[in-house]
Amino acid sequence: MSETLISVENLSLSFPNHPVFSDLSFQVNRGDFLGVIGENGIGKTTLVRVILGQLHPGVGKVIIKQGIRIGYVPQFRNVDVEYPLSIKDFVALNFTGLKLPWLSKKERARVNQVIKQVGLEQIANRPLGLASGGEKQKAYLAQALINHPDLLILDESTASLDPNTKKELLDVVFRLNKTMGLTIFFVSHDMQMIHEYPDHYLWLQKGKYESGPIADLHNENKEGQYV
């Protein structure tokens, strides 16, 4: 039996005069690669905020397994070319944000390890501001990995990348899922990506939702408005 990391039970949530979820239930088990899909404004980021504990459910339960660590990769935001930190230093910020440049030997080794996992070792000393969009996003991914998360949340992290760069980032995430069993909560409005990488899906729709193994996400849906 796999271990449940997130259990959402009969969640209903509304903003004033604006219902977002009604009776939403799903689970995420250790090792899952869940793709969360839905059109703009449907509530994907709201769901991430609920899981991160920033928003409290109105009705229902959201149970996060005690003691798990969550890594978060935000939507791509450009970084100014003048940004002073190297990729390596940027990744290390997630240890405390204050210790730079006084990292322990062990911390340095961990930085090098995650940089290697995301494939940035050749440019680790390059200023982050001079990295390409895809490289910046990989740096955010490495930063999210630094504290050994059990669960990685990617919130539209590939949205503004070109198709090849998107694929490159998702290939890294896929490898982490398959080789290390890292649990992935991948939020996207790109139906093609959802068909390609996750093993389960949660499709948020107006007033309802669908979820299940990815094989149940039918082809007629693939032809829908998200392609």
Ligand X SMILES: Nc1ncnc2c1ncn2[C@@H]1O[C@H](COP(=O)(O)OP(=O)(O)OP(=O)(O)O)[C@@H](O)[C@H]1O
| Contact positions vs ligand X (CB under 6 A) | 15, 18, 20, 38, 40-46, 189
Closer CB to ligand X, residue 15 or residue 69?
Answer: 15
Residue 89 CB, nearest distance to ligand X (Å)?
Answer: 30
Closer CB to ligand X, residue 23 or residue 121?
Answer: 23
Q: Which of 126, 184, 205, 194 is nearest to 159 (CA)?
A: 194
Residue 37 CB, nearest distance to ligand X (Å)?
Answer: 10
Residue 18 CB, nearest distance to ligand X (Å)?
Answer: 5
The type of residue at 202 is: L
52-71 in b/e form (b: 16+ CB < 10 A) is: eeebebeebebebeeeeebb
Closer CB to ligand X, residue 115 or residue 187?
Answer: 187
Structure tokens at 35: 């793709």
Query: Distance between CA 224 and CA 227 in Å, rounded?
Result: 6
133-153 in b/e form (b: 16+ CB < 10 A) is: ebbbbbbbbbbbbbeebbbbb
Residue 36 CB, nearest distance to ligand X (Å)?
Answer: 9
H or E, element range at 49: helix 44-51
Closer CB to ligand X, residue 44 or residue 138?
Answer: 44
Closer CB to ligand X, residue 7 or residue 75?
Answer: 75
Residue 189 CB, nearest distance to ligand X (Å)?
Answer: 6
